């Protein structure tokens, strides 16, 4: 580590800024924002550095910078020189300012542009009101420290506060409700009762970890336990907190897995035990994800639960292979259909789905390709209707085949014949011919 990162309290302390222009103005503004008393100079003279805590030099002239630094160092005042790290005692990082929360990024002066780019990425991850949450926590710090003596229990309390209802309310701008939630948690701690946890039903998207929502990425870092689908790839699970419990509760056709009622019972058990639980689902929790059943079970049990949407497979996969689900010339409607209807569920209206100008995205349909073909043909769809099968969409091993509806069962064979075939989506409609990778030339698809 070339520089030791420090956060310096400059409140009511004098800071000198030598020079004029944009660089000097920025440094003066930053120092004032930290509470410093800023003194602007064109050059350093006798007595200018008395009582000064730090100095910035930004004259935009190498010789003037050097002379200013010599005078400042004689007075034993730490100095920063704009764009001249070799002359500086300390450097200015790229700063993310969220009131009470400040993040500084430095490349030791090697590449300010890289530091700025990293700052932008970190800013995108930090909730806008994270500073309000820090300020709220600070207002209860003495009370919590006095009430909860055990360090591990105190740390667990703060983790629950930040990740739980109080934290969400504070970041949503409802400070009054957040304070009430904290007081309720403190009352539980005072009575030495184990507090209840919280469940988050989270969409993992179609597979590419960069397509996680910001909220999903944050919750993966906050969770005590992550109950995940079998189809959630390792690249996404690797974004989880290192000490989080990872529990695979997936169900795949032809393979024994967790029953839905057992998954719900496990979520309820862990939340009642005080854990922050993420139920991580491929795609979106409310699109063929049974998220509705799980939120119903948790609410019936009287437990707190939130839902974080994800990019559903049809949207992510279609974008990845260049298929527009709607197109002004070819498709004005799109329908998501499950290839495996639950017992007692209404059957899809195949005649309506087979209509011209309609795109159909069929989930979990590769093994039912022959049935899908026969139902669409029987409902009046053209045998030459373009179709695409996308396996492992958005992932590095993405695989696409394109052809005609009449050949759908044959096209699906290669996706079904491999032992560990990935999740597949079938897209039926004129827009399927836009797929960027195909098994046969588009010219053959009439």
The domain limits of the chain are: 14-92, 130-190, 198-310, 314-444
DSSP codes joined into one string, 329-380: TTBSEEEEEESSPPTTPPPP-HHHHTSTTEEEEEET-GGGHHHHHHHHHHTT
Please choose, from the candidates 65, 15, 75, the residue with its C-alpha nearest in 3D space to the C-alpha of residue 42: 65
249 by DSSP, 3-state: which?
Answer: coil
**Pairwise CA distance, residues 126 & 105, whole Å:** 14
Against a cut of 0.95, is the pTM above it? Answer: no
pLDDT digits (tens, 9 = 90+) for 283-300: 999 999 899 999 999 999
Give the DSSP H or E segment for 391: strand 386-391
Please choose, from the candidates 35, 38, 36, the residue with its C-alpha nearest in 3D space to the C-alpha of residue 19: 38
CATH code, 198-310: 3.40.1010.10
Active site residue 60: no
Q: Would you place residue 441 in the very low, low, confident or very high pLDDT band (cuts 50, 70, 90)?
A: very low
**Pairwise CA distance, residues 125 & 214, whole Å:** 6
> And the tokens for 9?
């309290």
Choose the catalytic residue: 229, 281, 284, 407.
229
pLDDT digits (tens, 9 = 90+) for 294-318: 999 999 999 989 999 999 999 999 9
pLDDT value of position 271? 92
pLDDT digits (tens, 9 = 90+) for 345-403: 666 777 777 788 899 999 988 888 998 899 899 988 999 999 999 999 999 989 999 99
Q: Tell me what percent of the residues of the chain surpass a pLDDT of 90.
A: 53
**Pairwise CA distance, residues 255 & 253, whole Å:** 6
Instruction: Select the highest-mean-pLDDT range: 111-120, 123-132, 264-273.
Output: 264-273
> And the tokens for 76?
């034993």
CATH code, 314-444: 3.30.950.10
Strand residues in 229-300 grouped as ranges (E): 245-248, 276-281
Q: Which CATH architecture has domain 14-92?
A: 3-Layer(aba) Sandwich (3.40)
Can you say whether the dihedral through the CA atoms of 7, 161, 172, 115 is positive or negative? positive
Burial-class residue 288 by CB neighbours within 10 Å (0-12, 13-18, 19+): buried
Give the DSSP H or E segment for 266: helix 260-272
pLDDT digits (tens, 9 = 90+) for 44-69: 988 899 999 999 999 999 999 999 99
pLDDT value of position 352? 76
Active site residue 251: yes
Choose the catalytic residue: 25, 89, 174, 251.
251
Given a cut of 70, whether residue 425 has pLDDT beyond it is yes
Please choose, from the candidates 147, 185, 145, the residue with its C-alpha nearest in 3D space to the C-alpha of residue 165: 185
CB 161 within 8 A of CB 120: no
245 by DSSP, 3-state: which?
Answer: strand
pLDDT value of position 342? 55
Given a cut of 80, whether residue 320 has pLDDT beyond it is yes
**Pairwise CA distance, residues 277 & 274, whole Å:** 9
pLDDT value of position 442? 39
Can you give the three-state secondary structure of 28-79, one letter per residue? HHHHHHCCCEEEEECCCCCCCCCCEEEEEECCCCHHHHHHHHHHHHHCCCCE
Q: Tell me what percent of the residues of the chain surpass a pLDDT of 70.
A: 93
Backbone angles phi, psi at 443, to 5 degrees: -60, -25
Own/partner pairs for 96-102, CB < 8 Å, 24+ apart?
A: 96/122, 96/123, 96/126, 97/33, 98/126, 98/128, 98/129, 98/130, 98/131, 98/134, 99/131, 99/132, 99/134, 99/135, 100/131, 100/132, 100/134, 100/135, 100/138, 101/126, 101/130, 101/131, 101/134, 102/7
pLDDT value of position 68? 95
What mean pLDDT, rounded, does the chain reach? Answer: 87
């Amino acid at each position: 580590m070339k520089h030791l990162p420090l956060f310096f309290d400059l409140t009511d302390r004098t800071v000198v800024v030598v020079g004029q222009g944009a660089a000097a103005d920025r440094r003066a503004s930053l120092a004032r924002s930290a509470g410093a008393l800023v003194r602007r100079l064109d050059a350093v003279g006798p007595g200018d550095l008395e009582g000064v805590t730090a100095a910035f030099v930004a004259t935009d002239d190498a010789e003037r910078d050097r002379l200013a630094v010599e005078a400042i160092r004689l007075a034993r005042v730490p100095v920063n020189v704009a764009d001249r790290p070799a002359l500086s005692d300390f450097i200015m990082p790229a700063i993310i300012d969220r009131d009470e929360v400040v993040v500084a990024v430095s490349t030791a002066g090697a590449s300010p542009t890289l530091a700025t780019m990293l700052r932008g990425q970190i800013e995108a991850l930090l909730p806008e009101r994270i500073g309000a949450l820090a300020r709220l926590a600070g207002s209860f710090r003495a009370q919590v420290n006095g009430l909860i003596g055990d360090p591990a229990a105190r740390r667990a309390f703060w983790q629950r506060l930040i990740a739980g209802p109080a934290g969400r309310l504070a970041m949503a701008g409802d400070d009054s409700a957040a304070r009430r939630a904290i007081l309720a948690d403190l009352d539980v701690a005072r009575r030495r009762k184990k507090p209840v946890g919280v469940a988050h039903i989270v969409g993992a998207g179609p597979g590419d970890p960069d397509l996680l929502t910001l909220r999903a990425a944050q919750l993966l870092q906050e969770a005590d336990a992550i109950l995940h689908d079998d189809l959630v790839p390792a690249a996404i699970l690797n974004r989880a907190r290192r000490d989080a419990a990872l529990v695979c509760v997936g169900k795949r056709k032809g393979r024994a897995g967790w029953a839905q009622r057992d998954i719900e019972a496990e979520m309820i058990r862990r939340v009642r035990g005080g854990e922050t639980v993420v139920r991580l689902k491929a795609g979106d929790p409310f699109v063929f994800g049974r998220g509705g059943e799980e939120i119903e079970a948790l609410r019936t049990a009287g437990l707190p639960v939130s839902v974080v949407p994800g990019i559903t497979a049809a949207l992510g996969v279609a974008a990845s292979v260049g298929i527009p689900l709607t197109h002004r010339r070819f498709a004005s409607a799109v329908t998501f259909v499950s290839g495996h209807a639950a017992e007692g569920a209404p059957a899809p209206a195949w005649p309506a789905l087979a209509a011209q100008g309609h795109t159909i995205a069929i989930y979990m349909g590769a093994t039912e390709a022959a049935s899908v073909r026969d139902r669409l043909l029987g409902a009046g769809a053209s045998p030459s209707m373009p179709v695409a099968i996308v396996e492992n969409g958005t992932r590095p091993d993405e695989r696409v085949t394109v052809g005609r509806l009449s050949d759908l069962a044959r096209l699906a064979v290669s996706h079904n014949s491999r032992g560990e075939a990935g999740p597949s989506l079938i897209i039926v409609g004129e827009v399927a011919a836009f797929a960027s990778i195909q098994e046969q030339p588009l010219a053959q698809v009439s």
